[in-house]
Amino acid sequence: MTFDTRIQTSAALQWRVALPGTSANHCKALRAGDSVNANASSILKPRILVLSLAIAASLAGCDKTSDSPAAADANPKAAPALTLDESKLPPFNQFKAADLDDTKNACVDFSGFVNGKWLAANAIPGDRTSWGAFEMLGERSIAVQQQLAEQAAAMTDPKGVEKIVGDFWATGMDEATIEAQGIAPLKTRLDAIDALADGPAVAEHLRQSFAKGEGALFGFGPSADFKDSSMNIAYVAQAGLGLPDKGYYFDADKKKEREAYELHIAKVLELSGIVAADAAKQAKDVIAFETRLAKVSKSSEELSRDVSLYYNPVSIEDADKKTPNFPWSKFFVPQGIAAPKMFSMAIPGFHAEFDRMLADTTVASWKSYLRFHTVDSASPFLGKAFVEENFNFYRKTMRGQKEMKPRWKRVLETVEGQAGEALGQMYVKVAFPAESKARMEELVKNLSAALKGRIEGLAWMSPDTKKKALEKWATFTPKIGYPDKWRDWAGLE
C-alpha cells in the first residue's frame, strides 16, 4: 500500500538564483539550520540568525573558475587541485517570460497563469517526494559533491578532509563487500542484546550505548540553557518511537500505517536472523512497547506550541529519585563527563514510564525492541534486502516516494550527515571562494547598518521600543557560507 504525499511546487514567483552549483541546504558547512523531530533525539533550541548561502552565492557571483593550473605547476608534489566541471551539472530554474501561460486569465487563475506551464513540464522525479526550484538547486549541489567525492577517492595519497571524504565514498560505493558481509557488522551489538538478562542489565546496556553514540529510547545532548543562553546544559527528551508522531499509534485514520509498520518490524527481524513466525510475534511486542511510550509522549504539535516543555531543570539527586531504575548519577560515568549540577529532564512523565518499563516489561520484549531498532537504523548501510525493506516502508509507504535514489546519492547523504563539514571544506573551494564570502560579508554589513538607521529614524516608535529594537539588532550574528575556523579532523584519518 502507498500513501502518496508527494508535493510538486512551481517556483515561478520565487527569486531564482543562478549559480554554478551551490545550494545552502546540501552541505553542512553551508547549512542554515537543523530541523526538530518531536519523537527523535533532536532537542528544540534557540537559533542564531544565519544568512542562506543560496542567496549569498547568487549575489556574490560564484562564476569564478575552479581550475588553477598555475598553482598546481608551482607545487608538483601537492595533491591535485579540486576542480569542477560545470558542463556536467544539472540545470537550475530561472524565470522566463515564456513560462507564463497567456491562455489563462491572470485575474481569474493567477496560479495557473504563473505556474501552469512549469508544473506541466516538470513532473516530480521518481526518487523525490517534492519538486521545485530549490530541489533543482539541490540536485545541482549534489552533482558538485559527487565530482568532489570521486576526485578525493581517486587521489593516490590523500590527506585531511580529502582522505576522510574519499574513504567514506569508496566504502559506501563498494556494494560487493557490503553485500558479502550481510548482518556481520552488527554481530557484536546483537550479541550484547541477546545476552541481556534483566532490567538492570538493560539499563547498563542503554548507558553504554549512549557512550558509543548508539543511544536508543530517549534523546540526549547539549543545548543552550533556556534561561541563560551563555551556557550549554544537558537535555534528555522523549524519543523511541518508530512512527512519526504519537497519533500514529492511536488515530483511526492511521490504521494502515500501523499495520504496515508491524509488517516492517517483522521483516527487519526476519532479515536479522529471526525465524518468520517468531519475528511476527516479536513485531507485536515491539508495537505494544512503543504504544506504551507513545501514551506518555507529547505530540509534535504540543511541543511546537509550548517549547517550555523541553525545559525541566533537575539536579542529579532529584533525577535519581524520579527514575530509580535508571539512576542518572550512573548515566554520566560512561559518557566520560562529570555529572552536572543540573540538567533538563524534558517530559518527566515519559521518563517515569520508561523507568517503570525497566521493572515490569519482560526482558524478551526489551530484546525485541532493541534488536529491531539496532538493525533498522543500520539497514540503509547493509545489503540490498535491508536497503529495499527500509525504502519500501519509510519512503514508499510513508512518504509516497516511487523510486529509491541511486546509490551514489545515498552515499553522499551519509557523507554529508557524518562528515558534512569535511565535504563542505572541499565544496567551497570550487563553489564559494574566499573573495565571494568577503563580498557577502560587506553586503550584510551594509544591510545591517541600513537596518539600524531605519530603526533609529522611525517616528512612530517610542524611545523605549527603539532601545529594545536596537538591543535585538546588536545580537544578530551573520554567518556566511562557512565557518572562519574549520573543524579539526586530526586523528580520524
Q: Residues 6 or more apart from 59 whose CB is under 8 A from it?
A: 439, 440, 443
**Looking at residue 397, what is its pLDDT?**
96
- Contact 319/343 with Cβ under 8 angstroms? yes
| Rounded mean pLDDT, 280-298 | 98
Q: What is the pLDDT of residue 369?
A: 98
Whole-number pLDDT of residue 37: 38
Confidence (pLDDT) at 443: 96
pLDDT in tens, 436-454: 999 999 999 999 999 999 9
Q: Kindly report, residue by residue over 50-96, the tens digit of the pLDDT.
A: 333 333 333 333 444 444 443 334 343 456 789 999 999 998 888 88
Of 16-20, 61-65, 97-101, 171-175, give the lowest mean pLDDT range.
16-20
Residue 436 vs residues 94, 384, 442: alpha-carbon distances, Å: 22, 43, 10
- Cα angle, residue 292 at apex, residues 287 and 296 outer, rounded to 5°: 140
What is the per-residue pLDDT for 78?
55
Check residue 93 and give its pLDDT: 86
Portion of the chain with pLDDT greater than 90, in percent: 75
Question: Given a cut of 50, is residue 340 above it in pLDDT?
Answer: yes
Say which amino acid occupies 387. Answer: V
pLDDT above 50: residue 26: no
- Note the pLDDT of residue 48: 31
Higher model confidence: residue 2 or residue 334? 334
Q: How confident is the model at residue 106 (pLDDT cuts 50, 70, 90)?
A: very high
pLDDT-derived band at 231 (thresholds 50, 70, 90) equals: very high
In this predicted structure, the answer to whether residue 248 has a pLDDT above a threshold of 90 is yes
DSSP 490: T
> How many other C-beta atoms can be found within 10 angstroms of the C-beta atom of residue 4?
11
Supply the mean pLDDT for the chain. Answer: 85
Name which of 46, 16, 20 is nearest 33 in CA terms: 46
Contact criterion met (CB below 8 Å) for 346 and 303 = no
pLDDT at 417 over 50: yes
What pLDDT is attached to residue 484?
87
Of 36-50, 205-219, 446-460, 462-476, the one with minimum mean pLDDT is: 36-50
Provide DSSP, 142-190: HHHHHHHHHHHHH-SS--HHHHHHHHHHHHHT-HHHHHHHTTGGGHHHH
Residues 122-133 have pLDDT tens digits of 999 998 889 998
Digit-coded pLDDT (tens) for 159-205 = 999 999 999 999 999 999 999 999 999 999 999 999 999 999 999 99
pLDDT of amino acid 141:
93
Torsion of CA 161, 35, 352, 261, to 10 degrees: -90
Sheet holding 218-225, edge to edge: 218-225, 228-238, 342-345, 313-315
Most distant pair of Cα atoms in the chain: their distance: 76
Is pLDDT above 60 for 139?
Answer: yes
Q: Measured between alpha carbons, how far is 112 from 285 in angstroms, rounded to an integer? A: 50
- Condensed to tens digits (0 to 9), the pLDDT of residues 391-411 reads 999 999 999 999 999 999 999
Which run of H or of E encompasses 471?
A: helix 463-473
